[in-house]
Amino acid sequence: MRSQNRYHIDTLSVIYFLSLVMLGWINIYAADYDLDGTTPFFDLNQSSTRQLLWIGTSFFLIAVIFILDYRFYDSFGYVIWGVSIFFLLAVLFFGKEVAGSTSWFEIGFIKIQPSEFAKIATAIGLAKYLSSQNVGVSDKYKLGLSAFLFLIPMGLIIMQGDLGTAMVFVSLILVLFREGLSAKLLFFSFYAVLLFLLTLLIDQWVLLFLVLALFLIGLGLFIKNRKALIFIFGLSVLSCGLIKSVDFVLNQVLKEHQQLRVMSLINPNADPLGIGWNVMQSKIAIGSGGFMGKGFLKGTQTKFDFVPAQTTDFIFCTVGEEQGWLGATLIMILFGAFFLRLLTIAERQKSRFVRIFGYSVVSIIFFHFAINIAMTIGLFPVIGIPLPFFSYGGSSLWTFTMLLFILLKLDSQRMEQLEH
């Protein structure tokens, strides 16, 4: 048997990681750069300098991950999940409010966001449960327990006021589909999202009339098919309930600024100097880059701070403005290659635990990537989702780094793992 200390690390994934982190830091530096050139290169007041510190500590975390026995994550999966729940509860009472969310512990100049690390713990806990013997998502009771593992942290994060981070946990549903969840649920999920969006765009009574009309048509077509009639009736009732629930979600669940963000998605010009300012300036910055971009450190929208959160949620604006369509496309291709590599790693595992964890990693990172870019170009409401490895922030960088390298550690010793 191979020695546990003999690793076979996936080199290509490490290259992708280093490339993304390096390109991310370069764009943070570009967003921070002062045109008069008076700011010192190493200045802790600059996001780019602090990001270097987070990058450095990330390598320390990687070392710790590779020192730990690879069986640690499987053996202590529930404990890790439980500890994360404890900190999510603690931050509700002892956390600091930032941008309307009580999601941070503050220690000196360091701020830690437990909800970021809850993503790792939930991925491990879900993999632990789903890889247990006699557990399958076809069993409704066990499916409910699987959902419980990510709905609990999701609910606690919503209580903190951080709807954006909470939404990330929805991506773990994709893991359940990989493990055999019926495609019917996927259909209903897309249908519900589509109907929700249509309810924002079209008058509710018009939609209710359309649902009734479709029900009557279905009744006429399948009058002799009992199962089809039950399905059509159930779908119509659920549709009407969802349509009528939109007002409740908008007015009772979402906060005022979140309501405005949703409405700005429907009508971007409704409040161009208020809630729509970020997205409008973001699209101007990206559009002004043209095909080749304005050049490194030459982005005027970036330099004059027209786009708030330039180094965090809207870091992709810097790419679009300074590197143009070509640079933005190459970055997206790099991300695409990275995701394909992670899927390859997940699929080649002998251990079900590692495969499930691998798909959790892909789901979480891809959700961040897709939603962040959709926010930046105005295809999704602004919900504060960072771009993986690019956006400034210690908690998010550590989370993505740990997710990736826990997977790479487990993959490096896949020949020693027992299938279960």
Mean local confidence (pLDDT), 263-292: 72
- Quick one: pLDDT band at residue 5, thresholds 50, 70, 90? very low
Q: Which residue in this structure is represented by tokens 């992709």?
A: 316
Contact indicator for 73, 417 with CB cutoff of 8 Å: no
Distance from C-alpha of 326 to C-alpha of 194, rounded to nearest angstrom:
32
Residue with the larger pLDDT of the pair 103 and 4: 103
Mean local confidence (pLDDT), 324-352: 94
- Give pLDDT, residue 37: 62
Q: Is residue 61's pLDDT more than 80? A: yes
Distance from C-alpha of 62 to C-alpha of 406, rounded to nearest angstrom:
8
In terms of pTM, does the model score above 0.75? yes
Distance from C-alpha of 316 to C-alpha of 27, rounded to nearest angstrom:
8
Which strands, in side-by-side order, build the sheet including 96-98? 96-98, 101-107, 110-112
- Quick one: pLDDT band at residue 205, thresholds 50, 70, 90? confident
Report pLDDT digits (tens) over 358-378.
999 999 999 999 999 988 888
- Which of 189-203, 296-310, 315-329, 371-385 reaches the highest mean pLDDT? 315-329
Residue with the larger pLDDT of the pair 381 and 318: 318
Mean local confidence (pLDDT), 152-177: 87
Inter-residue long-range contacts of 201-209, CB under 8 Å, 24+ positions, other chains counted: 201/266, 204/243, 204/244, 204/246, 204/247, 207/243, 208/240, 208/243
Q: Is residue 277's pLDDT more than 80? A: no
Q: What Cα–Cα distance (Å) separates residue 9 from each residue in 61, 128, 319, 345? A: 16, 23, 30, 11
Mean local confidence (pLDDT), 380-400: 89
Residue with the larger pLDDT of the pair 284 and 120: 120
The H-or-E segment that residue 307 falls in is: none
Q: Is residue 116's pLDDT more than 50? A: yes
Closest to 288 (Cα-Cα) out of 304, 275, 312: 304
- Give pLDDT, residue 23: 95
Mean local confidence (pLDDT), 193-222: 79
Residue with the larger pLDDT of the pair 414 and 363: 363
The H-or-E segment that residue 102 falls in is: strand 101-107
Instruction: Please name the residue ranges forming H helices in 348-393.
Output: 352-376
